[in-house]
Amino acid sequence: MKKSIITLLVITAIGFSSCTAEYKKEIERLQAVTDSLKEATVEKDTISMAYIRAFNEIQRNLDEIKMKERLITQISESDPELRKNREDEINRDIQAIYELLLKNKKMVEDLRNQVRKAGIKNSELEKMIDNLSAQIQLKDTQISQLKHDLTKKNVEIENLELNLAAMEALGQEKAAMIERQIIEKNTVWYIVGTKKYLEEKNIVAREGGFIGIGKSRKVSEEFDRSLFTMADLRDLKALPVFGKKARILTIHPAGSYSLSGEPTIDSLRILHPDDFWSASKYLVVMID
């Protein structure tokens, strides 16, 4: 098994190295690593295979980046009017390049973390990871220079100050915003209490209210949300009730939940969360 992995490591590297001087050095480093890993554990073999996959994909991404660079350069050297007409295409290619660079950077970081967590100390493997990282940084610098050259030729480049670090920060900010939106969308609040408790806390009122189920008890228009328990509707499957009787004062479709327990109602089970919380993100249960 180890022998086949070692052989695959070298063959795969050769297949993506195109016999350039830079890639020949990479092959030599790969061979050094495989020699040092001949007596390695299965865990080290896993790291080796992870490197193979990352190396191959990163090289494919770099090849695609080079292709896009050539196309941009060809357009930039064409007739000024044609060049101007293809600004959108240039900007799309530059955006695609940065996305590929970000993808490469994440793969290198993931591989580095995997090696660190596995506790593997191998100078040649670490050098190869550092080399991949250096290639990404070099390409970032080259793309920045390309953008600078394009502006000299009066090609309008969107987000001129954008580079790999800025793109990464933008991606993280966007991801954080999406996560906040998801959390907000799925956040719900619930409270279970006796009539006396709910009235004392101004959760339930005899008059007014915006939800209500009759003239006697209604959910107040104003209440202290901190009295409610906050939850994620994706995780909240049931909640304890423990009352002889239970009345749900907020609006929730009848078929979306069930009350269980005999003779005392011990829990409210949410059968269909999306339906249950469709009319109200608040749940008020009054027990006797």
Q: How confident is the model at residue 283, as a pLDDT?
A: 93
Q: What's the one-letter identity of residue 256?
A: S
- 19-28, 139-148, 175-184, 254-263: which has the minimum mean pLDDT? 19-28
Task: Using a cut of 0.75, tell me whether the model's pTM lies above it.
Answer: no
pLDDT at position 177 over 50: yes
d(CA 9, CA 6): 5
Q: What are the tokens at 106?
A: 């994440």
Q: Are 203 and 220 in contact (CB under 8 A)?
A: yes
Tell me the three state secondary structure of residue 188.
strand
Q: How far is CA 116 from its chain centroid? A: 22
pLDDT at position 266 over 80: yes
Residue 172 or 11, more confident: 172
Residues 6+ apart with CB under 8 A from 232: 183, 186, 187, 188
User: What is the DSSP annotation of 140-157?
Assistant: HHHHHHHHHHHHHTT---
pLDDT at position 231 over 50: yes
- Give, in degrees to the nearest 5, the angle at Cα 100 between 99 and 104: 120
Q: 207 vs 179, 210, 220, 232, CA distance in Å? A: 39, 10, 8, 31
CA Rg value for the chain? 31
- Specify the residue for token string 């959760």: 203
